[in-house]
């Protein structure tokens, strides 16, 4: 009862907000158009930095850019990314900038649905207002796709959408990115790229039973990553992490996908390199490396021959 | 007299059996082929690391580039033969898809062979930018096999 009345109230409020904002955005859109070229090109860069392309494009099945449909297998079920082209029916063409910012930073869709945290709004909440505006400007220019969204195939009780609302109460604290004056500008840029835009932690940090990242083990890797992959420890621990990598080893991987031993990253990281990190400027790639090398080393072995054995910090 | 002869014959037969069994097992045991192909890949990794060191400017000697590039191409030339049926189990990171989708695997390998040939040409140019570009393309072609046909690591 309580749940349904909350849902109803939410829905009514959202409807009112949507109508009001639709009128506003129509006016705003007309005046915004003037300085848009630069915003669009910045937005295109940010799209790569934020890793939107690899998840929202189903490259494996020849999907259209940002038309969604890529399957993400997780311990909670399989998620299918949605179409985020500007198609009014199948994509997010009916959204306005406010809708977009709310979705990105609060994890709520214009109709009031709470997103699963597989969509990294937890990290994106730290993206600056300017960058969000530019991303939105770019998304308006993407060719439309009429690919329909596919329903997530999620296990009970995670299949109850309202559970996401409860999840947020428990685990979601929106981030505001602040410049730390004790660190260099490069470090601060790296911190922003890694924690907010790049959302590296979403895969490289182990999660608890309810799917929240364990901040205590940030970037220490997990054996239970998306698609059942092992995700490496990227803290500077010498034995189990990347403590013996040089800064250029890290930037080299981000540029080319090559590991220091000449092997290549062959898992989801291959997509991340191809569609995200290799598109970044050398300065940004270096900033990421500087930040990663400053992390607290955590001893957590993810690579082991004993397939069944779980690492210290995975607990399902 | 009969008993010692019988013993000697039994001994000879046993020895022959052991020899024949052990020789049959010594050649082309799946585990040996798996180790072999893994070593070829380790070698490729070492050659790629050397070329990368030059591209990154960590080492200025370019004298080894041609040999490294050639070795990668040689290593890949017969690499497909190291995946016969029977080598899909055991201590391997190769996925069953190698054998289930052999045509796709062979195509990806052929692309890598082309990229390795291209690397030989680039190495001869002595131009770091060209070499870097060829190495990038080679890396992408490695992913052509490692992404779909290798266990996620």
Domain parsing of chain B, residue ranges: 28-149
Residues A100 and A228 in one domain: no
Whether A306 maps to a domain, the answer reads no
Residues A144 and A214 in one domain: no
Whether A179 maps to a domain, the answer reads no
Whether A288 maps to a domain, the answer reads yes
Contact A92, A79 (CB under 8 A): no
Whether A138 maps to a domain, the answer reads yes
Residues A143 and A16 in one domain: yes
Residues A41 and A67 in one domain: yes
Residues of B in contact with A256 (CB under 8 A): 52, 135-136, 139
Residues A9 and A134 in one domain: yes
- Going residue by residue through chain A (316 aa), what tens digit of pLDDT does each one get? 344 444 445 555 555 555 444 544 444 444 455 478 999 999 999 999 999 999 999 998 999 999 999 999 888 899 999 999 999 999 999 999 999 999 999 999 999 999 999 999 999 999 999 999 999 999 999 999 999 999 999 888 888 878 888 888 888 988 888 899 999 999 999 999 999 999 999 999 999 888 889 989 999 999 888 878 889 999 999 999 999 999 999 999 999 999 999 999 877 899 999 999 999 999 999 999 999 999 999 999 987 444 434 444 544 3
The band of B17, judged by pLDDT with boundaries at 50, 70 and 90, is low
pLDDT per position as a tens digit, B47-106: 999 999 999 999 999 999 999 999 999 999 999 999 999 999 888 999 999 999 999 999
Domain end, chosen from A129, A147, A171, is at A171
**Interchain contact A297–B (C-beta under 8 A):** no
**Closest partner CB to A252 (pick from B45, B47, B56):** B56
Whether A27 maps to a domain, the answer reads yes
A183, A304, A171: which is closest to A233 by C-alpha? A304
Q: Give long-range contacts, CB 8 A cutoff, 24+ apart: A243-248.
A: A243/A297, A247/A286, A247/A289, A247/A290, A247/A293, A248/A289, A248/B56, A248/B58
Residues A119 and A212 in one domain: no
Residues A18 and A159 in one domain: yes
B28-149 is a CATH 1.10.10.10 domain: no
Torsion sign across C-alpha atoms B147, B148, B150, B153: positive
Q: Where are the alpha helices (DSSP H) in A126-267?
A: 129-139, 162-171, 185-191, 201-204, 247-256
* pTM more than 0.90: no
**Closest partner CB to B49 (pick from A261, A265, A303):** A261
H or E segment and range at residue A103? helix A97-106
Contact A86, A135 (CB under 8 A): no
- A293's tokens: 């090398």
Residues of A in contact with B139 (CB under 8 A): 256-258, 264
Residues A67 and A136 in one domain: yes
Whether A61 maps to a domain, the answer reads yes
Residues A112 and A224 in one domain: no
**Closest partner CB to B147 (pick from A258, A261, A266):** A266
Judge if ipTM > 0.90.
Answer: no
Q: Give the pLDDT of residue A42.
A: 96
Distance from first CA to last CA of chain B, Å, rounded? 66
Taking the CA of residue A151 and the nearest CA in chain B, the distance in Å comes to 25
Residues A236 and A104 in one domain: no
How many domains does chain A divide into? 2
Higher pLDDT pick, A158 / B153: A158
Contact A218, A201 (CB under 8 A): yes
Residues A94 and A201 in one domain: no
Residue span of the structural domain in which A146 resides: 2-73+83-171
Residues A255 and A145 in one domain: no
């Amino acid at each position: 009862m309580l749940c349904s009345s909350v849902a109803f109230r939410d829905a009514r409020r959202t409807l009112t907000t949507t109508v009001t904002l639709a009128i506003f955005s129509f006016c705003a859109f007309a005046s915004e158009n003037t300085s848009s070229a630069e915003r669009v090109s910045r937005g295109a860069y940010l799209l790569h930095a934020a890793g939107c392309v690899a998840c929202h494009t189903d490259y494996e099945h020849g999907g259209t850019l940002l038309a969604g449909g890529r399957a993400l297998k997780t311990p909670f079920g399989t998620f299918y990314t949605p179409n985020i082209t500007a198609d009014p029916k199948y994509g997010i063409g009916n959204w306005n900038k406010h809708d977009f910012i709310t979705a990105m930073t609060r994890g709520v869709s214009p109709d009031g649905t709470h997103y699963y945290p597989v969509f990294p709004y937890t990290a994106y909440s730290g993206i600056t207002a300017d960058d969000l505006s530019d991303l939105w400007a770019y998304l308006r220019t993407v060719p439309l796709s009429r690919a329909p969204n596919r329903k997530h195939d999620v296990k009970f009780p995670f299949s109850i959408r309202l559970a996401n609302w409860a999840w947020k109460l428990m685990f979601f604290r929106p981030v505001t990115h602040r410049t730390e004056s004790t660190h260099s500008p490069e470090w601060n840029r790296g911190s922003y790229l890694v924690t907010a835009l790049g959302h590296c932690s979403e895969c490289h940090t182990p999660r608890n039973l309810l799917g929240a990242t364990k901040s205590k083990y940030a970037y220490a890797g997990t054996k239970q990553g998306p698609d059942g992959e092992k995700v490496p420890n990227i803290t500077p621990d010498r034995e189990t992490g990347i403590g013996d990598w040089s800064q250029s080893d890290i930037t080299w991987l981000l540029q080319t996908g090559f590991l220091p031993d000449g092997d290549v990253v062959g898992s989801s990281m291959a997509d991340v390199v191809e569609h995200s990190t290799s598109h970044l400027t050398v300065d940004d790639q270096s900033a990421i490396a500087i930040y990663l090398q400053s992390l607290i080393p955590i001893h957590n072995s993810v690579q082991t021959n004993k397939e069944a054995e779980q690492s210290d910090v995975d607990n399902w | 007299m009969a008993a010692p002869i019988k013993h000697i014959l039994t001994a000879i037969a046993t020895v022959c059996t052991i020899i024949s069994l052990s020789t049959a097992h010594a050649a082309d045991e799946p585990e040996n082929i798996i180790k072999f192909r893994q070593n070829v890949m380790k070698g490729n990794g070492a050659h790629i690391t050397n070329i990368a060191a030059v591209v990154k400017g960590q080492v200025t000697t370019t004298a080894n580039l041609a040999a490294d590039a050639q070795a990668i191409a040689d290593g890949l030339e017969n690499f497909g033969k190291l995946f016969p049926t029977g080598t899909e189990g055991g201590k391997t990171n190769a996925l069953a898809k190698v054998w289930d989708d052999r045509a796709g695997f062979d195509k990806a390998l052929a692309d890598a062979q082309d990229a390795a040939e291209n690397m030989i040409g680039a190495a001869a140019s002595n131009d770091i930018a060209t070499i870097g570009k060829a190495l990038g393309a080679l890396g992408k072609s490695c992913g052509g096999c490692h992404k779909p046909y290798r266990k996620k690591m």
